Amino acid sequence: MAHFLRKVAIIGLIAWNSPVHSGKPAETAMPQTIRQAVETVEAGARNVTGSLTAAREAAQILAGLDPDIRDRILNGAMAVATSKTAVR
């Protein structure tokens, strides 16, 4: 997601400085736009990092469980995940 947002910000910056937009008013706040794009990318990166950390911790917990309990947890999670995707 962060990679996609960064690409969108770069494309937006290129479009902003293109000759097509040469008639735009001089008082537009380009630094504010850039700042917002950077904040959006940083927020996306933080969300991805948090998700990866949670997934790693869950994998470590599952690795330490008894194989029978681990199978029951994974089967239950799979049933919930497939039922939620079927409802959508």
pLDDT score for 69: 86
Residue 67 is classified by DSSP as H
The pLDDT tens digits for 50-79 are: 888 888 888 888 888 888 888 888 888 888
Angle formed at CA 79 by CA 78 and CA 83, multiple of 5 degrees: 115
Task: Please provide the average confidence, as pLDDT, over all residues in the chain.
Answer: 76
Query: b vs e for 71-81, b when ≥16 Cβ sit within 10 Å of the residue's Cβ?
Result: eeeeeeeeeee
Position 27 pLDDT exceeds 80: no
* CA–centroid distance for 70 within its chain: 28
